[in-house]
């Protein structure tokens, strides 16, 4: 089984499970977040050596997990969007990057391409419209605010992805772990998501 096949198979297992725990909430979500926390901490101390990197990523992980728990209770719809957009952004970047193979975006992450950036935004916007159609209980159409938030979420997800790639490059490692076949470690999967859910928490808390 090649890496792509492992990636797809793992996604088919992990994604539905993650969605189940988040949507279910309560003790299910608490258990899930605790598992992510300890798995993430294990990766931090196993893969990274620089103290500043460990402290920064540890604080980011804690804040992101707290944000998920808080948003699930206070604004579940915003949380679901904050999770859906980074996933769509990641898929869009991967698909467009593979198909169009444009110029490389940065040396920090050699696999990132300019076409991938466009793909990330495109898939994120499509995700937004599908999201609103799915949650038709929202008595409003997609407006400028929702579109702007989605673009910002996608941008933050991509920057977060590059940020984790930068830290990995400093440590000269490819993946933060091997817990997710085809994907790497926990931080390899939630790199952009962490920063987006924190931003979503700020938006909700300050009623932006």
As a three-state string, the secondary structure of 45-69 is HHHCCCHHHHHHHHHHHHHHHHHHH
R_g (Cα) of the chain, nearest Å = 17
Number of domains present in the structure of the chain? 1
> Using CA atoms in the order 156, 160, 161, 162, what is the torsion angle rounded to 10 degrees?
100
**Residue 31, φ and ψ in degrees, nearest 5:** -60, -45
DSSP string, 10-37: HHHHHHHHHHHHHHH-HHHHHHHHHHHH
3-class DSSP assignment, residue 189:
helix
CA distance 156 to 159: 5
CA distance 162 to 93: 12
Q: What is the pLDDT of residue 4?
A: 57
For 90, what's the count of Cα atoms within 13 Å in the CB-facing half-sphere?
A: 20
CA distance 94 to 108: 16
**Number of C-beta neighbours around residue 63 at 10 A:** 15
CA distance 192 to 86: 6
Q: What is the pLDDT of residue 139?
A: 47
Q: What is the residue-level pLDDT of the chain in tens, covering all 208 positions?
A: 556 566 677 778 888 999 999 999 999 999 999 999 999 999 999 999 999 999 999 999 999 999 999 999 999 999 999 999 999 999 999 899 888 877 888 878 877 889 999 999 999 999 999 988 877 544 456 788 999 999 999 999 999 999 999 999 999 898 888 887 756 789 998 999 999 999 999 999 998 8
DSSP tag of 180: B
Domain that holds residue 198: 3-205
Q: For residue 198, which of 53, 61, 39, 21 has the smallest C-alpha distance?
A: 61
Question: pTM here?
Answer: 0.92
Q: What is the pLDDT of residue 136?
A: 59
**Residue 184, φ and ψ in degrees, nearest 5:** 110, -130
């Amino acid at each position: 089984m090649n890496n792509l096949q492992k990636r797809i198979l793992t996604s088919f297992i992990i994604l539905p499970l993650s969605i189940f725990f988040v949507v279910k909430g309560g003790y299910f979500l608490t258990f899930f977040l605790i598992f992510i926390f300890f798995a993430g901490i294990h990766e931090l101390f196993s893969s990274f050596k620089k103290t500043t990197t460990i402290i920064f990523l540890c604080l980011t992980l804690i804040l992101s997990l707290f944000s998920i728990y808080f948003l699930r209770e206070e604004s579940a719809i915003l949380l679901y969007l904050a999770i859906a957009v980074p996933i769509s952004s990641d898929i869009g970047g991967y698909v467009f990057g593979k198909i169009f193979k444009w110029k490389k975006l940065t040396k920090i992450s050699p696999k990132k391409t300019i076409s991938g950036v466009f793909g990330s935004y495109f898939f994120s916007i499509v995700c937004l419209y599908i999201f609103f159609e799915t949650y038709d209980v929202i008595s409003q159409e997609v407006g400028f605010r929702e579109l702007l938030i989605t673009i910002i979420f996608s941008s933050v997800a991509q920057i977060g992805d590059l940020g984790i790639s930068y830290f990995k490059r400093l440590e000269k490692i490819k993946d933060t772990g091997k817990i997710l076949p085809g994907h790497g470690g926990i931080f390899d999967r939630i790199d952009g998501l962490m920063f987006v859910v924190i931003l979503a928490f700020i938006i909700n808390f300050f009623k932006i």
